[in-house]
């Protein structure tokens, strides 16, 4: 009897969620971009540019081109910076916590320079504790957090690109 009630509740919850239009966000892999070609205004040595191009190429519906004149959309990165700020100090005045910031400002233009997305700021923040006896480990943790923030930025950019209207 108890198993039937639990199964009924689960079935009811699933049906209710699907009836209201709920859908998991999933991964923004570049699918559904509203243009066939895009130019990414980042150098080939940029880790952010490489990851962004990889996700767009994986979509199979949009091609990354090397000439901005041949693209339906041009993503221009206006600024990109990584910053580190002190959050708190211990009783001896030594750093106990840092805040890591990854800031990106970009815009998207279409054919004939038409602005599809005005300059947009994305700012990500992560907090990290600091321990003097584990400096190397904390430096590695900082690198991992910046890499994670970069992946989050790529997903946010792709979601914004897929929401654009080209017409």
Using CA atoms, how far residue 89 sits from 85, 129, 131, in Å, is: 12, 10, 11
Alpha-carbon span 154 to 145, nearest angstrom: 14
| pTM (two decimals) | 0.75
| Superfamily name and number for 2-162 | Lipoprotein like domain (3.30.160.150)
Joined together, the tokens standing for residue 53 give 């191009």
pLDDT in tens, 123-155: 999 999 988 888 899 899 999 999 999 999 999
Joined together, the tokens standing for residue 110 give 């279409």
In this structure, are residues 38 and 71 in contact, taking their beta carbons and an 8 Å threshold?
Answer: yes
Alpha-carbon span 33 to 35, nearest angstrom: 6
In this structure, are residues 159 and 28 in contact, taking their beta carbons and an 8 Å threshold?
Answer: yes
Q: Average pLDDT over the chain, rounded to whole?
A: 86
Q: Domain locations in the chain?
A: 2-162
Phi-psi region of 4 (alpha: psi -120 to 50; beta: other; left: phi over 0): alpha
CB atoms within 10 A of CB 58: 13
pLDDT in tens, 62-96: 899 999 999 999 999 999 999 999 989 888 888 89
Least confident of 22-36, 56-70, 90-104: 22-36
């Amino acid at each position: 009897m108890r198993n039937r009630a639990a199964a009924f509740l689960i079935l009811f919850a699933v049906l209710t969620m699907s009836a209201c239009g709920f859908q998991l966000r999933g991964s923004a892999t570049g699918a559904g971009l509203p243009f066939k070609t895009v130019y990414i205004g980042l150098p080939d040595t940029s880790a952010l540019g490489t990851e962004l191009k990889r996700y767009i190429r994986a979509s199979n519906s949009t091609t990354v081109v090397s000439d901005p004149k041949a693209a339906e959309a041009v993503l221009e990165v206006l600024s990109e910076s990584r910053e580190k700020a002190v959050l708190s100090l211990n009783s001896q005045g030594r750093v106990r916590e840092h805040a890591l910031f990854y800031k990106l400002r970009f815009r998207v233009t279409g054919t004939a320079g038409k602005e599809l997305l005005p300059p947009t700021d994305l700012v990500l923040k992560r907090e990290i504790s600091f321990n003097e006896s584990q400096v190397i480990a904390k430096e590695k943790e900082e690198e991992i957090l910046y890499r994670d923030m970069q992946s989050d930025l790529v997903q946010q950019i792709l979601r914004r690109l897929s929401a654009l209207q080209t017409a």
